[in-house]
Copies of this chain bind each other. A is one copy, B any other.
C-alpha cells in the first residue's frame, strides 16, 4: 500500500481542487491517505454520490493543466494571509507555527494547499482514480466540533489494479452483514429504541435461538453448569471487582433508587463469584464451570457502533471456571478444544478463519499489570505450553494482557482481510483475591482457586455478524430461518402443498408455502432471493405419488423424490449441522 501513498495523496489535492472549482464556497480542511485510498473533508458543501461523475470529470479536466507539485515555504503570517478565509486551515497553521519556523505549501496549477509533502512527480499519473462514498465526519474527530462532508476515493497506477480493487470492494460490500441483514430481514434498528440496540426479527431470531441452544447443549455435555444471574447489581459489586473505575467509561450510569445504587453489568464475573461464594467449596468439586448466556451492557460511542458487530447491549456465551492451579493446563486445553469444536461446526476453521493471540503482561509495568512476577510467569507458561502442545496457530503480543493476568485472544479474520478480536480466554489470579474466593484443599486448609474467564463463541450478536458475512446469507440448513419453501405449481396443488408443509412442520422443519397467485418462475426467484435452503415444487405429478421435486437454493435441480425420503435427508442434515 505504501507504494501508492504519494499517488493517493496527490489525488486528494486534485479532489479538493475540483470541489472548490465546482463549489467555490466549499472550505477544504484536511485530506489524508488512508488504507486503500484517501479522503478529503469539506465544510460548506452538500454533495451526494450522484455528484461523483461531475467531480471526477472536473478532476480529469483540471489535472490536464497540472505540471508538478511545487513546494513553497513561507512565514506563518503569510500563510495566515493566504488562507484568511478558511478558519480550518488557520487553526492548522496556528498548530504548525508552534513547532515549525516555516510553513510548507504545495501548488499545482491554480490550486494551493497547506501540505507537508509526499507527492508523485508527474500529476499526469493521476489517471486511474474513483470516488467511492460520501459521509459526515466531525472536524478533528470530535463530536463537539462541526460536522463536515467527507468524500472518499481511491487511486491506482493502472486501470487493472483499480478494477481489481473495485471488484473486491463490491464483493466485501455484498457480504456486509448490515446489507444482508436488511435484504433478508434478519434485524432492524429503530430511532425510537436507540442506536446500537438491534431488534432481531423472527427470522434473525431463529439464527440466534439455534446458536444459543447449540452452545448450551454442547457446554452442558462438557460439564459446564449453566446459570441465570441478573443483568444488574449494586454498584458496590463492581467496586469490589474493580470494574467500576476501570470500565467506568463504557459502563452505563448508576441508577439511584430508594436505598440502592444499581448499575447495569459490563461483565458477568462478579455475579458468578457470588454464586461460587454462596456455598463452601471443596477441592473434590473443582473445577466448577459456571456458564451463562449472559446479557451485558457497555456504552460504546455512537461512532463505534456497527450493525450487529458492535452494539450497546449484547449476550455473551460466558463462563467462569474455578480451579486449582494444577488444573489450569487441562482446563485451557479443554476450552480451546471447545472453541475449535463450536467454531468448526459453524464453518470457521482454526488457522484459516481465525488464529490465537497470546497476550502477555510486562513485569516492569506495575500500573498496567498486577504485580506478582511468579503468578505471571506461571500463567503465561501454562497458556503458551497449551498452544504449543496442541500445535495451535498463534502469535505473542507483549503488553496486551489484562490487568489481572495473561489471555488468549481469538482473532477472527474479517471479509475485508482485517483481523478482529472476537473473544478471549483469560487466566485470572487477581479477582479471586479481591472477592476472597476459597476452597478447602486435601489437607483441610482454606486456599485460593484460580479463575479462567472464557467465551466459547463470543457475543451472539457479533457471531451472527461473522456468520452472515461468511455465508452471505446462504446459511447451513440448521441455521436457515426458512428451511423449506413449498411452491405449488397451480392453485389445484395448494392443498397438497399445505399437506407437505404440515408433515415437515410436524418434523420440526421450518417451512412456508408460497400461496400467491404467481408463476412458478416468480415463486422460484422469490425463494432464491429469500435464500431458503430448499424449494419443493409440487404439481399434479408429485401430488399423485406423494413426492416432491427438490431444488437447492442455488437453483440446482435434485430431481423428484418421495416426500418421506426428503424428510429423512433434511432431518439428518439438520441433526448433523452439516455445512454444504
Tell me, in angstroms, the Cα distance from A116 to B233 when the chains sit together. 47
Looking across the interface, which residue of chain B has its beta carbon closest to that of A289?
Answer: B202
* A198→B230 contact, CB < 8 A: yes
The stretch from A91-99, A258-266, A338-346 touching chain B is: A258-266
- Residue A194 CB within 8 A of the other chain: yes
**A228–B252 contact, CB under 8 A?**
no
Contact A202 B225 (CB under 8 A): yes
Q: Among residues 192 to 245 in chain A, which have CB atoms less than 8 Å away from a CB atom of chain B? A: 192-195, 197-202, 204-205, 208-209, 213, 216, 221, 225-234, 236-237, 240
Could you say which residues of chain B place their CB within 8 Å of the CB of A299? 257-258
Residue A190 at the chain B interface, CB threshold 8 Å:
yes
A250 to B279: give the CA distance in the assembly, Å. 33
**A200 and B185 contacting across the interface, CB-CB below 8 Å:** no
For window 270-314 of chain A, which residues contact chain B by CB distance below 8 Å? 270-271, 274-275, 277-279, 290, 295, 297, 299, 301-302, 312-313
Contact in complex: A205, B226 (CB < 8 Å): yes
User: Which of B209, B252, B260 has a CB less than 8 Å from the CB of A194?
Assistant: B260
Provide the bound-state CA to CA distance between A232 and B208, in Å.
19
Measured between beta carbons, the chain B residues less than 8 angstroms from A192 are: 233-234, 236-237, 240, 270, 274
- Report B-chain residues with C-beta under 8 Å of the C-beta of A230: 193-194, 197-199, 312-313
- A525 touches B (CB below 8 Å): no
- Tell me if B228 and A208 are in contact (CB < 8 A): yes
The one of B228, B253, B258, B295 in contact with A256, judged by C-beta atoms closer than 8 angstroms, is B253
Find out whether the CB atom of B252 lies under 8 angstroms from the CB atom of A193.
no
A391→B195 CA distance, assembly (Å): 48
Interface 1/0 per residue, A531-567 and B, CB below 8 Å: 0000000000000000000000000000000000000
Residue A188 is within 8 A (CB to CB) of chain B in the complex: yes
Instruction: Evaluate contact between A237 and B193: CB separation under 8 angstroms.
Output: yes
**Interface residue count on the A side (C-beta < 8 Å):** 60
Check B202–A290 contact: CB distance below 8 A.
yes
Measured in the bound complex, the distance between the Cα atoms of B301 and A358 in whole Å is 48
A194, A208, A225, A231: residue with the most chain B Cβ atoms closer than 10 Å = A194
Q: How far is the CA of A257 from the CA of B205 in the complex (A)?
A: 28
Contacts of A257 in B (CB 8 A): 252-253, 299
Say yes or no for A255: interface residue by CB 8 A criterion. Answer: yes
B301 in contact with A258 (CB, 8 Å): yes
- How many Å from the CB of A511 to the closest CB on chain B? 12
Whether A260 pairs with B195 at a CB distance below 8 angstroms is: yes
Chain B residue contacts of A200, Cβ below 8 A: 227-229
Complex CA gap A278/B204 in Å reads 14
Q: Is the CB of A194 within 8 A of B233?
A: yes
A241's nearest neighbour on chain B, judged by CB, is B192
A residues 139-157 with Cβ under 8 Å of B? 143
A193 and B313 contact, CB distance less than 8 A:
no
Chain B residues contacting A229 (CB-CB under 8 Å) are 193, 199-200
Shortest beta-carbon distance, A414 to chain B, in Å? 24
- Residues of chain B lying within 8 A (CB to CB) of residue A194: 230, 232-234, 237, 260, 262
Nearest-neighbour CB distance to chain B for A316, whole angstroms, equals 14
Q: Which residues does chain B contribute within 8 Å of A240, judged by CB atoms?
A: 192
Q: Kindly state the separation between the CA atoms of A226 and B212 in the bound complex, as whole angstroms.
A: 14
27 cross-chain CB contacts under 8 A: A192-B237, A192-B274, A193-B233, A193-B234, A193-B237, A194-B230, A194-B232, A194-B233, A194-B237, A197-B233, A199-B275, A199-B278, A200-B228, A201-B278, A202-B225, A202-B290, A205-B225, A205-B228, A209-B226, A230-B313, A231-B231, A231-B295, A232-B264, A232-B313, A253-B255, A253-B257, A258-B299
Closest 3 CB pairs of A and B: A202-B225, A190-B274, A197-B230
